Amino acid sequence: MPRKPPTIERQLILARDHRRKYGARLTFQVQRSAYIGDLENVTLLLPHGELATISPGHLQEWEGGKRYEIDIVGFPKAGEAEEAGMQVAQALLVCAVSLNFGLRLSYISHEPPSVYDRTLSPGMFMSGEMYASWPQNVVLEEFERAFLAPPRDRRLLLSMELFAAAALESNDRARFVMAVSALEPLAEQVGLGPEVAEAIDTLCQTLDSQSAVPIQLRDSLRGRLLQLKRESVRQALKRLCGRWFQGDADAWAALDEHTP
């Protein structure tokens, strides 16, 4: 069914007409409200008659910056609301990249927008916050013990830094990616032996003889072939896992499941 003129669409939306009952909500976070022009409790008139309202969102005590919610309302179908929500997510990211400010999308499901029925009562809303903590003596004992430990390898320090920083990510996807990335610095790739190196050199010689392949492409392919002399990151992690967790058959299966 074709949409009505924008003025009619907005009348239906404001009247909470059941024919325009679907909306989509996105939650995002920025460091300062000035980065989005201090837009707060503002309603935007979208081109086809839909309305988008920007309002402040709830922020946990430990989180920094500002959190906002955008509600895009006025759709006859849930699929249309989700599509519009994705357009808004894209627009936010383009603004962040073009205007050079940080922005984080918060996910409730596997997509940035969550679709809802405006005609249904939202019910009661409550929020709470809890956290676990350590007694002061436990922290001091751990710090003193770690301070007396010998200097660690720079790869291990980088791995620990990534893993510890991942816990501060409020976005589940970003937290997961950073936590998994903490394994990569530990995966020092070693050579696969002289037999493999000889086979790779033979392949490189064969490639060099292919004059029909442009030289720039040959150089790129040769570089990729030479990388095959060393084990992959996955192979390195599997080797290290066998060293770290000797006798634990399930350790590698769990690690492999969560690494890209």
CA–CA distance, 224 with 227 (Å, rounded to integer): 5
**CA 102 to CA 130: how far, in whole Å?**
27
pLDDT the model gives residue 25: 92
Percent of the chain residues past pLDDT 90, beyond the cut = 4
Model confidence at 213: pLDDT above 60 = yes
Handedness of CA 251, 252, 255, 257 (dihedral sign): negative
Residue 26 DSSP SS3:
strand
> Residue 117: helix, strand or coil by DSSP?
strand
- Residue range 6-117 in CATH 3.40.50: no
Q: Which two tokens stand for residue 122?
A: 């939202």
Distance CA 45, CA 9 (A): 11
Distance CA 29, CA 172 (A): 14
Beta bridge partners of 51: 45, 73
Give the C-alpha separation, 99 to 121, whole Å: 38
Question: Taking the CB of residue 74, how many other CB atoms lie within 10 A of it?
Answer: 27
> What mean pLDDT do residues 43-64 have?
82
Q: What is the pLDDT of residues 91-145, one digit of tens each?
A: 889 888 888 888 888 887 778 888 988 888 777 767 676 767 788 888 888 877 8
pLDDT value at 205 more than 70: yes
How far is it, in rounded angstroms, from Cα 110 to Cα 98? Answer: 25
Per-residue pLDDT at 24: 92
- Which pair of structure tokens corresponds to residue 228? 């095959």
Break the chain into its structural domains and give their ranges.
6-117, 194-227
Q: Is the pLDDT of residue 260 over 60?
A: no
Instruction: Select the more confidently predicted residue: 186 or 66.
Output: 66
Tell me the per-residue pLDDT of 29-49, one tens digit each, with 9 for 90 and over.
888 888 888 888 888 888 888
pLDDT greater than 80 at residue 256: no
Residue keyed to tokens 């890209």: 260
- CA angle 226-244-159, nearest 5°? 65
The pLDDT mean for the chain works out to 82
* The pLDDT value given to residue 131: 67
pLDDT-derived band at 1 (thresholds 50, 70, 90) equals low
For 168, residues 6+ apart whose C-beta sits below 8 A from its C-beta are 62
Query: Strand, coil or helix: what is 146?
Result: helix
Indicate if the pLDDT at residue 61 is higher than 70.
Answer: no
Query: CA–CA separation, 4 vs 19, rounded Å?
Result: 12
Q: How far apart, in whole angstroms, are the C-alpha atoms of residue 99 and residue 104?
A: 15
Closest CA to 236 of 198, 162, 178, 185: 185
Sign of the Cα torsion 100, 106, 110, 114 reads negative
Q: What is the pLDDT of residue 228?
A: 82
